[in-house]
Chains A and B, each alone.
Chain A
Amino acid sequence: MDFQAWPDAQGRFGAYGGSYVAETLMAPLAELREAYERLSADPGFLAELDRDLQHYVGRPSPIYHAEQLSRHVGGARILLKREDLNHTGAHKINNTIGQALVARHMGKQRVIAETGAGQHGVATATVAARFGMRCVVYMGAVDIERQKINVYRMKLLGAEVVPVTSGSKTLKDALNEAMRDWVTNVADTFYIIGTVAGPHPYPKMVRDFNAIVGREARAQMLEQYGRLPDVLTACVGGGSNAIGLFHAFLNDAEVRMVGAEAAGLGLATGHHAASLAAGRPGVLHGNRTYVLCDDNGQITETHSVSAGLDYPGVGPEHAFLKDAGRAEYVGITDDEALEAFHLLARTEGILAALESSHAVAQAMKLARELPKDGIVLCNLSGRGDKDVHTIAAREGVEV
């Protein structure tokens, strides 16, 4: 099977994906689809995007052999794809630059976004400032509390941050509220979704903009190591950094792929956000995918120490890759992620985002299973500055 051929024209990845939205949004989605199809085949647009990725974002990001960490773990080599070195500190800007350029070509003056950890909100506020667009970011009241630094960053960048107090007051509710804004302001507003979820064409478009991560990494592997890695790993919230890394390798059958979801307090406790590892197929936020819900179909509240993984759905392409057996999805607990965070900080001098720390923890597990000459390539999706307060509070430290 050609795993890179998806989605189909309806935005379906096998049984997943699609456009499950209110009638009012069908027209703006069609408009977006047409604009994106035209632009993504336009050499001028692609050159513009490349220029921005190079000079504004700082791409390409290196792959770095974490030798001390690898030695400490005592297994295969762990390589980190350093998305934390991007402008604004995460992979999120790969996508927001792309979507903001699409918005500009469509003549939209106002952009809106949902955010969990605040990284996507910051990345959206950043590009909005640069393109002179008005920017409104929806953020769950719970997340505003645990990601104060990013809230302030967004404000410094000129964005309006709107607290969302409905439902569980986290990322999923922020997404609902952004959709409500979009449905009300369809004429002048572009909705910059922050992950590979939402209705078609978002899962495809966001993936395409993040696929630069895997394209670079694949070329860097061949150039620097003369081979592909044995296994890829990345954390999975909505799944944008993971699919970004995976996509270029999907047809390399010898490369294994493992997504690390937030197992929170443990999958068995029910307090987690592992939609693929512990959920079931359902419909949420415009697409069919794996969701965490009860027998009444009510989406359940999730738990993760990292706000960016605290989401009860997941991008439909991951649902497809799971069912097809092409990728595996496992849970990493809060404690495992924290341990990986500290270990990476002390062995390599890198403060990883709590989200990315889940991937590092999984990379360590995979490295232990492989021989010394094996290679685990881990997406270090973001830096941890935003999480310093959360970690301090958790460990009872006053800062």
Chain B
Amino acid sequence: MTRIDTRFAQLKAAGRTGLIPFVAAGDPSPQHMVALMHTLVAAGADLIELGVPFSDPMADGPVIQHASERAIAKGVGLNEVLGWVGEFRRRDADTPIVLMGYLNPVEIHGYARFAQEAVAAGVDGVLLVDCPLEESAVLQPLRDAGLQQILLAAPTTAPVRMAQLCGSAEGFLYYVSFAGITGAAQLSTSDIAARVADIRARASAPVAVGFGIRDAASAVAIGKFADAVVIGSALVESLSGAMDAADIEGRARDFLQPIRAALDAS
């Protein structure tokens, strides 16, 4: 079993909703990235999505765009991100790490080289926003090396495609809660519930819901029917501008702990 599969099996056995924070790698501070990852775990993260910065994040709203720009300005690229994952793994062998981002940095790094380095560092999966199922033949070296490709499903996904996605999903299926970009807020819980129920009936992989979840209330509302919730922009926003280790750690803990507590209490 992969680390991701093991984690979702544990959550299921414990009857808990998974909590997946997204942070932009290198933001707010490259030096404190590994410490931030450990803080997230201590505050209740079950899996971490690490955003690989890209200059042209077409699916992201202003919060993640700016975090990405700040990280790039500090010279953060795949090499640094993989280095942080490797360092994180020395003290945490269990928390799955998914790299989220866009295809070009991986393409330029080289698929085979990336696969080998990512597995060596301890990365478990990749979620490449602009690489839909139809184009994912290029990711074969990643699969061969043991990385799981996290697929996305959206409100616009047509029934036939949804069946394909459910059949191909590995690790977990990421359901995008609305048609839009990250950071927007337009959750319609009943629509999402219906779609997620449909996916869960068809897919063997668990379903995580992301986009638009920003606090304990929205996490609990979605957590009623999803296997896990992903929280990105709201966390990135709360971290932005934090400068020293204590500030970053404090903000991450204060943001995530109440959400963890609310999910566990619901």
> Using a CB–CB distance below 8 Å, which chain A residues touch chain B?
10, 18-28, 30, 166-167, 172-173, 176, 179-180, 183-184, 186-187, 280-286, 288, 291, 293, 295-299
Q: A19-B134, A23-B154, A167-B69 are in contact. Are A297 and B105 (CB under 8 A)?
A: yes
Interface pair A24/B56, CB less than 8 Å apart: no
Q: How far is the CA of A283 from the CA of B135 in the complex (A)?
A: 11
Q: How far is the CA of A394 from the CA of B176 in the complex (A)?
A: 48
Interface pair A297/B176, CB less than 8 Å apart: no
Could you say which residues of chain A place their CB within 8 Å of the CB of B146?
none
Q: In angstroms, how far is the closest chain B Cβ from the Cβ of A174? A: 11
Interface pair B132/A23, CB less than 8 Å apart: yes
21 inter-chain pairs at a CB distance below 8 angstroms, sorted by A residue, are A20-B130, A21-B58, A22-B152, A22-B154, A24-B176, A26-B132, A166-B62, A166-B69, A176-B57, A183-B58, A183-B59, A282-B104, A282-B107, A291-B104, A293-B55, A295-B77, A297-B78, A297-B106, A297-B107, A299-B55, A299-B104
Interface pair B156/A293, CB less than 8 Å apart: no
Q: How far is the CA of A166 from the CA of B72 in the complex (A)?
A: 13
Q: How far is the CA of A377 from the CA of B60 in the complex (A)?
A: 43
Of B43-51, B177-185, B193-201, B241-249, which stretch is located at the interface? B177-185
Q: Which of B72, B155, B181 has the most CB of A within 10 A?
A: B181
Could you say which residues of chain A place their CB within 8 Å of the CB of B58?
21-22, 176, 179-180, 183, 285
Q: A23-B176, A180-B61 are in contact. Are A297 and B130 (CB under 8 A)?
A: no
Could you say which residues of chain B place their CB within 8 Å of the CB of A25?
156
Q: A22-B152, A26-B157, A26-B161 are in contact. Are A298 and B54 (CB under 8 A)?
A: yes
Interface pair B108/A295, CB less than 8 Å apart: yes
What 5 pairs between A and B have smallest CB-CB spacing?
A296-B77, A297-B105, A297-B108, A27-B156, A24-B154
Cβ-based interface call for B65 (8 A): yes
Q: How far is the CA of A19 from the CA of B154 in the complex (A)?
A: 16
A18 touches which one: B66, B135, B181 (CB < 8 A)?
Answer: B135
Q: In angstroms, how far is the closest chain B Cβ from the Cβ of A178? A: 9
For B75, the closest partner residue in chain A by CB is A296
Could you say which residues of chain A place their CB within 8 Å of the CB of B153?
23
Interface pair B135/A180, CB less than 8 Å apart: no
Q: Which of B62, B65, B79, B184 has the most CB of A within 10 A?
A: B65
Q: How far is the CA of A158 from the CA of B19 in the complex (A)?
A: 47
Q: How far is the CA of A157 from the CA of B176 in the complex (A)?
A: 37
Could you say which residues of chain B place their CB within 8 Å of the CB of A184?
179-181, 184
Q: How far is the CA of A195 from the CA of B72 in the complex (A)?
A: 28
Could you say which residues of chain A place their CB within 8 Å of the CB of B135?
18-20
> Using a CB–CB distance below 8 Å, which chain B residues touch chain A?
53-62, 65-66, 69, 72, 77-79, 102-109, 129-132, 134-135, 151-158, 161, 176, 179-181, 184
Interface pair A167/B152, CB less than 8 Å apart: no
Interface pair B181/A172, CB less than 8 Å apart: no
Could you say which residues of chain B place their CB within 8 Å of the CB of A286?
130
Known contacts A30-B158, A176-B56, then 20 further A-B pairs from the complex at CB < 8 Å, ordered by chain A residue: A19-B132, A20-B131, A22-B176, A24-B176, A24-B180, A25-B156, A27-B158, A28-B156, A180-B58, A180-B181, A184-B181, A187-B179, A280-B108, A282-B108, A285-B56, A297-B54, A297-B105, A297-B107, A298-B53, A298-B105
Q: How far is the CA of A71 from the CA of B69 in the complex (A)?
A: 51
Could you say which residues of chain B place their CB within 8 Å of the CB of A167?
55-56, 65, 69
Could you say which residues of chain B place their CB within 8 Å of the CB of A186?
156, 179
B130 touches which one: A280, A283, A291 (CB < 8 A)?
Answer: A283
Interface pair B103/A20, CB less than 8 Å apart: yes
Q: A18-B135, A21-B130 are in contact. Are A298 and B103 (CB under 8 A)?
A: no
For A298, the closest partner residue in chain B by CB is B55
Could you say which residues of chain A place their CB within 8 Å of the CB of B62?
166
Q: How far is the CA of A161 from the CA of B11 in the complex (A)?
A: 49
For B151, the closest partner residue in chain A by CB is A23
Q: In angstroms, how far is the closest chain A Cβ from the Cβ of B75? A: 8
Q: How far is the CA of A184 from the CA of B69 in the complex (A)?
A: 22
Could you say which residues of chain A place their CB within 8 Å of the CB of B65?
166-167
Interface pair B56/A27, CB less than 8 Å apart: no
Q: How far is the CA of A286 from the CA of B153 in the complex (A)?
A: 18
For B76, the closest partner residue in chain A by CB is A296
Q: How far is the CA of A282 from the CA of B55 in the complex (A)?
A: 13
Interface pair B105/A296, CB less than 8 Å apart: yes
Could you say which residues of chain B place their CB within 8 Å of the CB of A18?
134-135
Q: Which of B66, B105, B184 has the most CB of A within 10 A?
A: B105
B157 touches which one: A23, A173, A282, A285 (CB < 8 A)?
Answer: A23
Could you say which residues of chain B place their CB within 8 Å of the CB of A23?
132, 151-154, 156-157, 176
Q: Which of B79, B109, B130, B181 has the most CB of A within 10 A?
A: B130
For B134, the closest partner residue in chain A by CB is A19
Could you say which residues of chain B place their CB within 8 Å of the CB of A30?
158
Could you say which residues of chain B place their CB within 8 Å of the CB of A179?
58
Q: How far is the CA of A319 from the CA of B138 in the complex (A)?
A: 18
Q: Which of A20, A173, A187, A284 has the most CB of B within 10 A?
A: A20
Interface pair A24/B104, CB less than 8 Å apart: no
Interface pair B59/A296, CB less than 8 Å apart: no
Q: Which of B60, B78, B135 has the most CB of A within 10 A?
A: B135
Could you say which residues of chain A place their CB within 8 Å of the CB of B129?
22
